Amino acid sequence: MPPLHRSFASHPTRRRLLTVAAATAAATALAAPADAAPWPTTIPLPNGWQPEGIAIGAGPYAYLGSLADGSVYRADLRTGTGRIIATGPGTPAVGLELDGRGRLFIAGRQSGARVVDARSGATLASYTLAATTPSFANDVVLTERAAWFTDSYQPVLYALPLGPNGALPGPDGVVRLPLAGDWVQTPGGAVNANGIARTPDGSALLVVQSGVGLLHRIDTATGRTGTVDLGDAAPLTNGDGLLVTGRTLYVVQNRQNAIDVFRLAPDGRSGAFRRRITAPGFDVPTTVAAHRGRLYLPNARFTTPPAPDTTYSVTAVDA
C-alpha cells in the first residue's frame, strides 16, 4: 500500500502539533458548563426515528441519523428541541462524524457512505465503499488525512482521503485497507468491526470487534492489527460506539445499558478499566459524543420492535 502510506504520513513536528490540538479540543468538549441553567438530560427524538449514530461539534448541537431512512436530525442541547435538517435517501444512517468545516460523514450500512452539509442538509458526495458483499459500513472517525469507516461484515477499513483544505475525493477515490495481524474475522453474519476512534497520540486507530469482545489497534499504513491489552476487564462483547478524550476511552456496551471507561496508554496498545457508567434512561444506547462535561447517547431500543409511533430519545450523563 505505498500510495496510502505516503498520503497519510506527516512530519513529526506537525503530528505533535495536531495531537496537542486534538487534546485541547477534547478538553474543551468535556469542560464543565459555565452557566447555571440546567440543560436537559433527556432529549426527545421524532417518533419512529430509530437512532444509531451521534455527532457533536463545538456548538451546542447534536446530529443524529435515522436507521429508518437516513435522515439527519439536529437537536439543541440547551433546550432539547430540534428539527430534521436533511431528508434521507431511504437507506440507513449509522455512524456519524462532524468535521470543522460543518460536514457530516455518514456510514450508510450496505449503501456505503455519504457526506452532508450540516448547515443546509445538502448531500455533498456519496461513495460506494465495499468491493464485495455482504457489507455493513458501521462507524466512522476523522483524522487530518482521511475519514475512516468500519465494515462489520468484511475484514477491511475504508478511507476517504482528504485533499488540501479538506477536499473530498472523487467517487473512485475510496481506499480499501485489508486487516491483518491479530484480526480474525468471525463468519456467518456476526458483527465484527464496529466502533472506531483514534489512539490518544493519534498514531493509530482503535476498533472494537463486538462479537468476540476485543479491542484492536490498527496501523493505517499496513492494516496490521494488535489486540489491545485491557488487563482483567470483561470482554467487550456488546462493544459499540467508541470515544477517546485525552487518554480516556469510553466504550458503549449497548445491550448492557452501560459505558465502560478505560485509561489508555498514549499509543493505545494497552489500557486499564476504571469504572462503569449506567443511567435509568439508557435503553440500548449505541454511540456516544461529548459536550461541556457530559456524554450524550442515543437510545436505539433494539429490544423494542420499531414502529412509526415508537418513541426515541438521547440520554445525557456526566462524563
Distances in Å between the Cα of 224 and the Cα atoms of 215, 256, 270 are 13, 30, 16
Q: Distance from CA of residue 314 to its chain's centroid?
A: 16
**Do you find a cis peptide bond into 285, omega within 30 degrees of 0?**
no
Cβ neighbours of residue 28 closer than 8 Å, sequence gap 6 or more: 58
Is 4's pLDDT higher than 90? no
Is 195's pLDDT higher than 90? yes
* pLDDT tens figures, 29-77: 555 455 557 999 999 999 999 999 999 999 999 999 999 999 999 999 9
Confidence (pTM): 0.89
Q: Determine the pLDDT at residue 188.
A: 87
Domain range list for the chain: 2-30+45-318
Mean pLDDT of all residues in 239-266:
98
Q: Determine the pLDDT at residue 35.
A: 52
Mean pLDDT of all residues in 181-197:
96
* pLDDT tens figures, 90-115: 999 999 999 999 999 999 999 999 99
- Average pLDDT taken over every residue of the chain: 92
Right CATH number for 2-30+45-318 from 2.30.42.10, 2.120.10.30, 3.40.50.1110, 3.40.980.10? 2.120.10.30
Q: Determine the pLDDT at residue 2.
A: 38
At 9, the pLDDT band (50, 70, 90 cuts) reads very low
**3-state class (DSSP) for residue 176:** strand
Q: Distance from CA of residue 292 to its chain's centroid?
A: 18
Checking 262-267 for CB contacts under 8 A at 24+ apart, the result is 262/230, 262/233, 264/199, 264/200, 265/200, 266/199, 266/200, 266/201, 267/199, 267/200, 267/201, 267/203, 267/204, 267/217
Is 15's pLDDT higher than 90? no
* pLDDT tens figures, 129-172: 999 999 999 999 999 999 999 999 999 999 999 999 999 999 99
The candidate with the shortest Cα–Cα distance to 237, out of 264, 217, 256, is 256
Q: Which amino acid is at 297?
A: L
Parallel/antiparallel/unpaired status of strands 72-76 and 137-142: unpaired
Q: Determine the pLDDT at residue 34.
A: 52
Residue with C-alpha cell 465484527? 192
The CA-based angle 81-86-88, given to 5 degrees, is 120
